[in-house]
Amino acid sequence: MTAETMAHVVPGPANAYSRPRIGHRRILILAAETKHLITGRILRRTLHATAAGLLLSLLLPALQAGRPLAQDTLRAVAVVNDEVISMLDLFLRTRLAALSSGIQLTPESQSRLQQQVLRRLIDERLQLQEAERLSIMASDEEVAESLNAIARRNKMSNEQFLAMLAENQILPLAIHEQIKAELAWRNVVKVRLVPRIVIADEEIDDVVTRIKAGQGGSQINLSEIYLEVDNVQAEDEVRRSAIGLLEELRGGGDFSALASQFSQAATAAKGGNIGWIEESQLPEELASVVRGMQAGEVNGPVRGLTGFYILYLKDRKAISGGEDSVRLTQIFLDMPPDGQEAERAARLAEAEALRSGIDSCATAAEVAKASGAPGSGDLGLMKVADLSPQLQSLVQSLPLEQPSEPINIAGSLAILVVCERQGGAIDRDRIQNNLMAQRVEILARRYLRDLRRQANVDLRL
């Protein structure tokens, strides 16, 4: 189907090539876990009710226009092991990608996005099929938790969020299926891959040696979009897809949103953010590019060993030793005065709900921004010795990028996240966690590549 034909498949108040309406701001579609505000049963009922009405509004004009157009709307664009991906699936997910990334949909941008969206849909079908085979599918409650987190980050209730999707002609089941695939694949990786990985002390020692040798060198805060090349025949197609994404970024697309939608690295769940690393930890083909980049610059596509990278250098700083320092992110909440026990209990429950939605410094920053409370956000680099004894003990024992329990500070509640440690003793636990994440990433890519090679995929676009 051509882009021109696509424009008439889903008529309605929003033209197929208009910018999706989101109240003049993009939506944040990043996977995260939080205490659920709605149950899986309510989620199914809400999704099905909303979807039924919207699906009728989408298809009725096509049906009235005649059978060929209606049939084209529901025809298969790909078949993955006997499971169909329809033109409607592709259309809705393309609009969802544009909505979350702030991309103006034109015939050209839609054509570019569709290729990447279709690759993503095929991978998701394979991931869901593997999770189903292993009987470790994500539950409705897990999906509901993630959907709640997305709605809250956009400062909406679940009902408002689903209504906003409907207004932009996106069936709620489109985002539901995306979340379900992400969670199911996370379960597969956790069950099948993580138990097989052992990080030896010698591996940690090697990293420690490189860090010590790099004192005075450079540390970078880097984000990535990674597109895998799983066979030689796909090289040109993947390169064109990477170039298309780079053009969208240079046209104003949001890096973290595009990474969340299209990157095939594990960092996609964090908007592509790798975090602060030493340049020496990068493969040389990437390090050689990063050395010439300035903070705030996007570069690519860069050919790596197994695929193409688009790199975003957020910041750079010199590595230094010396006194222990930590970079903290804080979520701050006012606490009702003594005597208002019901209000205090409600505020503590609110803090616990916020805490459960934080799984990295990236999500902590989003929660802090969404809270709008004075004192919330990045506190910058602070010397541990300058903190109170209570906070010194907390930040020294708190795992990197994990939220603290809500603590009482000067009569208010605070959640702290240690986003970086500098100086003093080298953090061997952090090194072990990074090595574990790298190993999981490699095995997960290999696993998905094997699923692609074993699958029967019939492309019909």
Q: Which positions ≥6 away from 244 have C-beta within 8 Å?
A: 112, 113, 115, 116
Is-above-0.95 flag for pTM?
no
Q: If we measure between CA atoms, which residue out of 301, 226, 290, 221 comes closest to residue 260? A: 226
Fold match between 3-192 and 214-321+428-459? Answer: no
Q: Which positions ≥6 away from 460 have C-beta within 8 Å?
A: 75, 76, 77, 78, 79
Where do the domains of the chain lie?
3-192, 214-321+428-459, 325-422
Region of residue 372 (phi > 0: left; psi between -120 and 50: alpha; otherwise: beta): left
Check residue 202 and give its pLDDT: 92
Check residue 323 and give its pLDDT: 54
- Structure tokens, 396: 């020294």
What CATH fold (topology level) applies to the domain 3-192?
Triger factor/SurA peptide-binding fold (1.10.4030)
What are φ and ψ of residue 82, in 5° steps? 75, 5
Q: Which positions ≥6 away from 450 have C-beta within 8 Å?
A: none
Cα within 13 Å of Cα(16), Cβ side: 20
> Rounded to 10 degrees, what is the CA torsion of 137, 257, 113, 109?
160
pLDDT in tens, 267-314: 887 888 888 887 877 888 998 999 899 999 999 999 998 899 999 999
214-321+428-459 — its CATH code?
3.10.50.40
Mention the CATH class of domain 325-422: alpha beta
Cα within 13 Å of Cα(104), Cβ side: 5
Check residue 215 and give its pLDDT: 60
Check residue 351 and give its pLDDT: 84
**Range list of H helices, 193-231:** 201-213
Check residue 216 and give its pLDDT: 55
Give the bridge partners for 422, in sequence order: 325
Q: Which residues of the chain have pLDDT under 50?
A: 1-27, 29-56, 58-60, 62-65, 67, 69-70
Q: If we measure between CA atoms, which residue out of 75, 70, 98, 86 comes closest to residue 14? A: 98
DSSP at 177: H
Helices 172-192, 428-454: crossing angle, 10 deg rounding: 110
Distance of CA 444 to the CA centre of its chain: 16
Check residue 408 and give its pLDDT: 84
What value does the CA radius of gyration of the chain take, rounded to a whole number of Å? 23
